[in-house]
Protein backbone atom coordinates (compact mmCIF):
# COMPACT_ATOMS: atom_id res chain seq x y z
CA UNK A 1 0.00 0.00 0.00
CA UNK A 2 1.16 3.53 -0.75
CA UNK A 3 0.91 6.04 2.13
CA UNK A 4 1.36 9.77 2.51
CA UNK A 5 1.52 11.50 5.87
CA UNK A 6 0.55 15.04 6.86
CA UNK A 7 2.03 16.49 10.06
CA UNK A 8 0.50 19.60 11.62
CA UNK A 9 2.43 19.76 14.91
CA UNK A 10 5.98 20.80 15.71
CA UNK A 11 8.66 18.32 16.71
CA UNK A 12 8.62 19.08 20.43
CA UNK A 13 5.50 21.08 21.27
CA UNK A 14 3.09 18.39 20.22
CA UNK A 15 3.05 14.59 19.94
CA UNK A 16 2.07 14.70 16.24
CA UNK A 17 5.50 14.40 14.65
CA UNK A 18 6.68 11.75 17.08
CA UNK A 19 3.55 9.63 16.53
CA UNK A 20 3.82 10.10 12.76
CA UNK A 21 7.45 8.98 12.82
CA UNK A 22 6.58 5.77 14.65
CA UNK A 23 3.66 5.19 12.29
CA UNK A 24 6.00 5.63 9.32
CA UNK A 25 8.47 3.14 10.77
CA UNK A 26 5.69 0.59 11.28
CA UNK A 27 4.31 1.07 7.76
CA UNK A 28 7.75 0.60 6.24
CA UNK A 29 8.48 -2.44 8.42
CA UNK A 30 5.32 -4.07 7.03
CA UNK A 31 6.63 -3.60 3.48
CA UNK A 32 4.46 -0.66 2.50
CA UNK A 33 5.67 2.49 0.73
CA UNK A 34 5.60 6.11 1.82
CA UNK A 35 5.33 8.58 -1.02
CA UNK A 36 5.46 11.86 0.85
CA UNK A 37 5.48 13.40 4.30
CA UNK A 38 3.91 16.86 4.18
CA UNK A 39 4.63 19.33 6.99
CA UNK A 40 2.00 22.04 7.50
CA UNK A 41 1.13 24.64 10.17
CA UNK A 42 3.57 24.25 13.09
CA UNK A 43 4.73 20.97 11.53
CA UNK A 44 7.10 23.06 9.39
CA UNK A 45 9.38 23.42 12.43
CA UNK A 46 10.42 19.81 11.76
CA UNK A 47 12.31 21.15 8.75
CA UNK A 48 14.46 23.68 10.59
CA UNK A 49 18.18 23.01 10.52
CA UNK A 50 18.45 25.03 13.73
CA UNK A 51 16.60 22.53 15.93
CA UNK A 52 19.06 21.54 18.66
CA UNK A 53 17.55 19.29 21.35
CA UNK A 54 19.63 18.29 24.37
CA UNK A 55 21.93 15.33 23.78
CA UNK A 56 19.74 12.98 25.80
CA UNK A 57 16.64 13.77 23.71
CA UNK A 58 15.60 12.55 20.28
CA UNK A 59 16.45 14.79 17.34
CA UNK A 60 13.18 14.19 15.51
CA UNK A 61 13.89 16.36 12.45
CA UNK A 62 17.14 14.48 11.93
CA UNK A 63 15.35 11.14 12.32
CA UNK A 64 12.91 12.18 9.58
CA UNK A 65 15.86 13.01 7.33
CA UNK A 66 17.46 9.62 7.91
CA UNK A 67 14.23 7.67 7.41
CA UNK A 68 13.40 9.55 4.20
CA UNK A 69 16.91 9.07 2.87
CA UNK A 70 16.91 5.35 3.64
CA UNK A 71 13.45 4.70 2.16
CA UNK A 72 13.51 7.33 -0.58
CA UNK A 73 10.39 9.38 0.14
CA UNK A 74 9.77 13.12 0.01
CA UNK A 75 9.83 15.50 2.96
CA UNK A 76 7.71 18.38 1.68
CA UNK A 77 7.14 21.58 3.62
CA UNK A 78 4.32 24.03 2.92
CA UNK A 79 6.07 27.15 1.69
CA UNK A 80 3.45 29.61 2.98
CA UNK A 81 3.43 28.10 6.48
CA UNK A 82 7.24 27.85 6.50
CA UNK A 83 7.93 31.42 5.43
CA UNK A 84 5.40 32.70 7.97
CA UNK A 85 7.32 30.81 10.70
CA UNK A 86 10.82 31.71 9.51
CA UNK A 87 11.78 28.39 7.94
CA UNK A 88 13.46 29.42 4.69
CA UNK A 89 15.50 27.86 1.92
CA UNK A 90 18.20 29.91 0.18
CA UNK A 91 15.82 31.27 -2.46
CA UNK A 92 13.23 32.44 0.06
CA UNK A 93 15.91 33.95 2.30
CA UNK A 94 17.10 36.07 -0.66
CA UNK A 95 13.55 36.89 -1.69
CA UNK A 96 12.66 38.20 1.77
CA UNK A 97 16.11 39.72 2.31
CA UNK A 98 16.91 37.56 5.32
CA UNK A 99 20.52 36.95 6.40
CA UNK A 100 20.40 33.15 6.19
CA UNK A 101 18.45 30.07 5.21
CA UNK A 102 17.60 27.37 7.73
CA UNK A 103 15.73 24.67 5.80
CA UNK A 104 17.36 21.37 6.72
CA UNK A 105 18.88 19.15 4.08
CA UNK A 106 16.44 16.67 2.58
CA UNK A 107 13.38 18.87 3.07
CA UNK A 108 11.87 20.83 0.20
CA UNK A 109 9.53 23.81 0.17
CA UNK A 110 6.47 23.42 -1.99
CA UNK A 111 2.89 24.54 -2.29
CA UNK A 112 -0.20 23.19 -0.63
CA UNK A 113 -0.97 21.48 -3.95
CA UNK A 114 1.55 18.79 -2.96
CA UNK A 115 -0.76 17.81 -0.10
CA UNK A 116 -3.66 17.54 -2.55
CA UNK A 117 -1.48 15.45 -4.90
CA UNK A 118 -0.50 13.20 -2.00
CA UNK A 119 -4.15 12.54 -1.22
CA UNK A 120 -4.87 11.70 -4.86
CA UNK A 121 -1.76 9.61 -5.57
CA UNK A 122 -1.64 7.59 -2.33
CA UNK A 123 -3.89 4.81 -1.16
CA UNK A 124 -4.05 6.50 2.26
CA UNK A 125 -3.29 9.99 3.56
CA UNK A 126 -2.84 9.87 7.33
CA UNK A 127 -2.84 13.14 9.29
CA UNK A 128 -1.20 13.84 12.65
CA UNK A 129 -1.69 17.00 14.64
CA UNK A 130 -3.93 19.34 16.50
Q: What CATH number does residue 52 fall under?
A: 3.40.1260.10
Per the structure, the complete domain to which residue 42 belongs is given by 2-128
What's the whole-number average pLDDT of the chain? Answer: 95
pLDDT value, residue 72: 96
| pTM of the entire predicted model | 0.94
Q: What is the pLDDT of residues 17-60, one digit of tens each?
A: 999 999 999 999 999 999 999 999 999 999 999 998 898 989 99
User: Among the options 5, 47, 78, 81, which is catalytic?
Assistant: 78
Give strand ranges (E) for 1-115.
2-7, 33-39, 74-78, 107-110
pLDDT value, residue 14: 84
Q: How many domains does the chain have?
A: 1
Close Cβ partners of 26 (under 8 Å, ≥ 6 residues apart): none
3 DSSP 8-state letter: E
Decide if 78 is catalytic: yes
Q: What is the pLDDT of residues 105-125, one digit of tens each?
A: 999 999 999 999 999 999 999
Amino acid sequence: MNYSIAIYGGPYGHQASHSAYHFAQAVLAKGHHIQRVFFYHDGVYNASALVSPPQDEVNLPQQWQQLANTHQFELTVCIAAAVRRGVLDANEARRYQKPAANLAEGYQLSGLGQLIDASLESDRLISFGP
